[in-house]
Structure 1
Amino acid sequence: MRRLSVRARITIGSVLVGAVVLSLVALVLHAEVRQATLETDRSLAVGDAAPFVADLRDNPGEAPDRPADGVLVGIRSSTGEWIVDTLPDDLRRSLSDGVPRSTTTLRLGDGHRSATLVGTPVASADGRFVVWAAQDGRAGHETVERVDRSLVVGTLLALVASGLAAWLLSTVALRPVARMRRTAEALSGGDATGHLPVGPSEDELADLARTLNAFIDRQRENAVRERRMVSDASHELRTPLAALTARLELAHRSSGDAAALERELAAAESDAARLTALADTMLELSRLDETQATPSTTAAELVTELMGSVDRARALGGTSGVDFTVDVPDGAERYGITPAAFGRVVDNLVANAIAAGAPDVEVGITLVRQEDRALQLVVRDDGPGVPEDFLPRAFDRFTRADDARRAVLGGSGLGLALVRGLAERAGGEATLANAPGGGAVAVVRLPAR
């Protein structure tokens, strides 16, 4: 079963809300008109009784005058005798015996008659009396009925108008949505350059269109980045795979020469290790895009991991020395990076400094805590530095400053990309620049949580 459209739901909701509101208004108006007619009838009845009340009080020894034609008045004594009586029999029989203590108003009505009676007690020298005056309520009843019919018709017309207005307004308001849907269908059909239309009015739909356009741009960028990464990865894997295949062929040919076979197998192991490192780095980069719980690491744990990275760099050799300086006071600060990830950052920066530098390059590592409690890692070398045209894309994946690297070390161009990804995941940033006196300087800043 197909669900109702947004336009239909808006129209039905508007009609229902209008029905409730208009019904309440109609009930209030009905009550107000009915009360107004009752008050009018009561005022007329009081006016009819006023001359007789004054006559009884002012002329106690005289008989009251006879009411004019059409005036319904009855005067009854405390003994039950009717001195004046022009009331209809049915109204007279409905009155209670005796004299009320105060002015009394009665509303009598059935299918044939509607009347308002006002009883006014009067005390004079001749005794106690009650003056009853009646006012026919049929005119007021007819007025209320006419008002009720008008309210019913007006309510129905207002509901119809409200439904039509809601339908038309929702149709106009949803036109941008229909245009966005058609454009989205066209985009899904292969048009990768367009955007969803943004209406001229600065409303919620325009904001939605802008948000979706930004989302589409990000998805396109991700798609382009993924295609480029797959292409670059294929290119990067082709060379070591070809070298590994050649090594294995040479090893097969050197099966009778143990020394040559061992040499080729060692070279093949080196190529396989390079492929493994490349695959591991690509896996780490892909995991950076996944949503994971933010780690919480103390500065002391990061300092310990830094010491391990320095030991690994010194064990690898290829430099004249790796010096380090640590200025991180004890504190309760915690940082959004795991010790292993921080070790990868240091290892990659040191390896990059070694690969980009001259033989026997000196590498200096500094880890300090700044005034805002953020940790700043600085890795510098005294090599030739990095080409200026390479700096803007140094942290892109599969990019290398080939002229500044030693071929024996090679590189996949993913080290700095991993450094930036890990730093940004921790809420920080990574930069690379050339020092004024020569050499490259890499800076990673990690804010405290």
Structure 2
Amino acid sequence: MLSRLSIRARITLGSILVAVVIFSIALVAVRVQVATILTTADSTLARGDLNSFADEIIANPANTLDDPGTGVLLFVRAPDGTVQVDTMPHIIREHLEHRDGANEQLTQDVEGMDFVVVGRVVHTSAGTWSLWAARSTGSSTLALQGLDSTLIIGALVLLAGFGVASWVLASAALRPVERMRRKAELLGADPGEGGLPVGPARDEIAELASTLNALLDRIRQSTEREKQMVSDAAHELRTPLSVLKTQLELAHDDFGDAEALARQLVAAEVSVDRLSALATNMLELSKLESAGTPTTPSSTEQLVTELMGSVDRARMLAIAKDVEVAFSVNVTGEDAAFAIGQHSFGRVVDNLLSNAIAAVHEEGVVTASLSTEPGGLVLEIRDDGPGMPESFLPHAFDRFSRPDDSRTSSTGGSGLGLAVVGAIIDSSGGSVSLHNGGPGLVVTVRLPQM
């Protein structure tokens, strides 16, 4: 039931329930205190009635006591057992006749009315006197009844006021949330509307708004990346798909010519390989730019092993162009850890070496070196190709970006290789940069030690 109510209503009801408990304890404590005071007052008055007779007995024990007067309830028994004064109600008298004198206090009910009875013993030369005085608690009962009514009415008024105040305060506290909700509705209709309002007070609601705004920014950026990825992918896929379609159409026309058909099928396989590589790179880049899965750290020894494996693979690619692939390793601290997976590092080296091999001319040279620097490792890939236009260098790691010269035009690259490299290195906390070395291009990767 409570879960279906609004937060404002739940806060108000909770506050009222707490107030009910506190007020109940306070009212009971007040009533008990007042009742104690009234009972003490009644017993004090009864003792006062006794004192005057006790003083008279002590002064003149042989004299006969006078009538106490109307309204004074008294019972006095002489040492010889005779009752000299008796103005007690019948029920109380029957109870006192069979009691020995004692300094005590008791309560007696007489036909629904309570009496406080106070006893006292007076020792004289003639013997021991027993004195009893009684006071009706009717006036105290009436006073308590009036107090109960006043306390109940006052408590109800206070609860009503407390409930209204709680509702108003809860409404004021939740007003920023309502503004955030209305703004969120506008954001749903127009994502570019901006962020949620952040109040001037640095409270929990303002912190929530700031956190949600940061989340919205990340969602917008992710959405923009996805839109850009889809747009770029559609643009990049259109050409190879058109080429593949044309190649298949030509293959249909060459069914009677086995050699021509074989050439078209080989060309189609190349187009399919290019599409497959493009799809693989797009998938990997999408995974890297998403939330990101924690990577198992790698040691220096593992990275060196992966570098040598990448060099071996690159040499197989370089045979067709008669390109030399050289490498050098100058590292220390084989047990040092780095926040990059071994296979991810191999993918970085593979991409950089394949790009370099594609860029250099026949009988060119590509060099990979791995060295230690204070606090990390440095990977450097250098080639003696034509390099890149200076204006393109700031955009080299953008998706589907390619320089407008011969560096990649002959290879038909997708423009995702460096984007994948940049994403992998960013996720590991490192940095990657490139510059023209005159001749060729120099790519420098720095990995900080964990």
| Residue matched to 1:20 | 21
Pick closer, same or farther for the CA change 1:119–1:351 going to 2, 3 Å: farther
Give the TM-score normalised by the residue count of structure 2: 0.84
Q: Of the candidates 315, 320, 324, which is equivalent to residue 324 of structure 2? A: 320
Cα gap change, 1:368 to 1:128, in 2 (>3 Å): farther
- Residue 139 of structure 1 is matched in structure 2 by 139
Distance change (3 Å), C-alpha of 1:391 and 1:19: farther
1:398 aligns with 2:397: no
Q: Hey, what does 1:207 align to over in structure 2?
A: 207
Query: Relative to 1, partners in 2 of residues 1:366 and 1:146: Cα closer, same or farther, differing over 3 Å?
Result: same
State whether residues 378 and 442 of structure 1, in contact with CA within 8 Å, keep that contact through their aligned partners in structure 2. yes
Displacement of 1:404 in angstroms is 6.8
Distance in 1 (CA, whole Å) between partners of 2:93 and 2:304 is: 108
1:124 maps to 2:129: no
Shift of 1:30: 1.1
- Distance between the aligned counterparts of 1:218 and 1:235, measured in 2? 25
For 1:416, the equivalent position in structure 2 comes to 418
Which residue type is aligned with residue 311 of structure 2? V
Q: How has the CA–CA distance of structure 1 residues 53 and 342 changed in structure 2, closer, same or farther, with 3 Å as cutoff?
A: farther
Structure 1 position 275 matched with structure 2 position 275: yes
Moved more, 222-231 or 47-56: 47-56
Residue of structure 2 equivalent to 1:310: 311
CA contact (8 A) 2:15 2:163 kept: yes
- Please say which of residues 343-352 and 222-231 is displaced more in the overlay: 343-352
Whole-angstrom CA distance in 2 between matches of 1:417 and 1:57:
116
Residue identity opposite 2:229 in structure 1: M
Contact persistence 1:353–1:440 (CA under 8 A): no
**Equivalent pair of 1:45/1:118 in contact (CA under 8 Å):** yes
Question: C-alpha separation between the residues in 2 aligned to 1:116 and 1:257?
Answer: 130
RMSD across aligned C-alpha pairs, in angstroms?
3.3
Report the count of equivalent residues.
442
8 A contact 1:350–1:379 mirrored in 2: no
- 2:5 paired residue number: 4
Q: Structure 1 residue 3: deviation in Å?
A: 2.8
Match of 1:115 in 2: 115
Segments of structure 1 that go 5 or more residues without pairing to the other structure are none
Shift of 1:298: 4.2
With 392-401 and 217-226 compared, the bigger mean Cα shift is at 392-401
Instruction: Show CA shifts across 1:341-363 (max 9, x none).
Output: 23212212333444456662432
State the SS of the aligned residue for 2:178. Answer: helix
What secondary structure does 2:326 align onto? strand
SS in 1 for 2:193: coil
Structure 1 residue 152 displacement after superposition: 0.7
1:90 alignment partner, SS class? helix
- For 1:301 and 1:76, the matched residues in 2 are separated by 112
Deviation at 1:237, TM superposition (A): 1.2
Q: Does 1:188 align with 2:188?
A: yes
Corresponding residue number in structure 2 for 1:165: 165
CA deviation map 1:213-255 (0-9, x unaligned) = 3322222222221111111011111222233334444555566
Find the aligned partners of 2:389 and 2:380 in 1 and give their Cα distance: 17
Match of 1:179 in 2: 179
The reply to whether residue 362 of structure 1 matches residue 366 of structure 2 is: yes
Question: Tell me, which stretches of 5 or more residues in structure 2 are unaligned?
Answer: none
Over 3 Å counting, the alpha-carbon distance change for 1:50 and 1:437 in structure 2 is farther
Judging changes above 3 Å, is the alpha-carbon distance between structure 1 residues 129 and 167 closer, same or farther for their aligned structure 2 residues?
A: same
Conservation of the 8 A alpha-carbon contact between 1:349 and 1:379? no
Q: Which amino acid is 1:414 matched to?
A: L
Give the distance between the partners of 1:321 and 1:79, measured in 2 at CA.
136
Aligned to 1:222: 222
- Alignment partner, residue 353 of structure 2: 350
How far is the alpha carbon of 1:278 from its aligned partner? 0.9
